[in-house]
Amino acid sequence: GKQFMDEVASEIHFEPTPRWGLGLDPDVLETVRAACTETQKLRVVYESASKKENKDRVLGPHFLYFAKGSLYLVAEDDTDGKNKIFAVPRIKEAEMLDESYKGEALDPEEYFESAIGIFQASEPQHVVLSIEAPVSSYVRERQWHKSQRIVFKSKDAIQLHLDVGITPELVHWILGLGAGVGVERPDELADLVRE
């Protein structure tokens, strides 16, 4: 098995991606991981991305989630009782409390079911994208979301159907595909891409 893996490693190479672990305090990571495992509440100092201020929070941890080259904690915020996503590198301090978290467990697949990435949307919508060559071959070779369905319009043109939330990540992904992509539905998404 090791010989096979060595052969594969010399034959298959991967593009560099964002490296995770940068800015992670190992003690914070271990405390957060332990709180998830033991279902104990956490007191953290969290740096807000938008306001750039540190805020004390008490969290009911659900699970850790690795995406887009970083590690996230999905947890219930005691302030408002809502489940939120916290970037672990922005947790400056973490302390596991002697209080059990009694919230209903979340399933990661269900929680991110309508997401492309980590942003959450209230309800998934039926998205239809028209995609022309040369991007169409790139798109149809991959599974972007488990809800996807591809309809061939011609040899070089497809429609991609997705049931996903309308989020900044979805808009960014569409824009990243380039000029050969158009949003047919919904109008809200078309407007966001146009802007």
- Please report the pLDDT score of residue 15 as a whole number: 66
- Residue 95's pLDDT band (cuts 50, 70, 90): very high
Of 46-50, 97-101, 174-178, 187-191, the poorest mean pLDDT is in 46-50
Q: What is the pLDDT of residue 115?
A: 86
Provide the b/e sequence for 155-184 (b: ≥16 CB within 10 Å): eeebbbbbbbbbbebbbeebeeeeebbebe
Query: pLDDT: is 174 or 15 the higher one?
Result: 174
At residue 114, the pLDDT reads: 87
Region for 16 from its dihedrals, namely left if φ exceeds 0, alpha if ψ lies in -120 to 50, beta otherwise:
beta
Burial 68-89 (b: 16+ CB within 10 A, else e): eebbbbbbbeeeeeebbbbbbb
In the block, tokens 């071959």 appear at: 137
Least confident of 15-29, 143-157, 161-175: 15-29
Residue 27 tokens read as 């003690």
- What pLDDT score does 84 carry? 93
Looking at residue 17, its pLDDT comes to: 62
Instruction: Return d(Cα 18, Cα 68) in angstroms, integer.
Output: 7
**Residue 69, pLDDT score:** 79
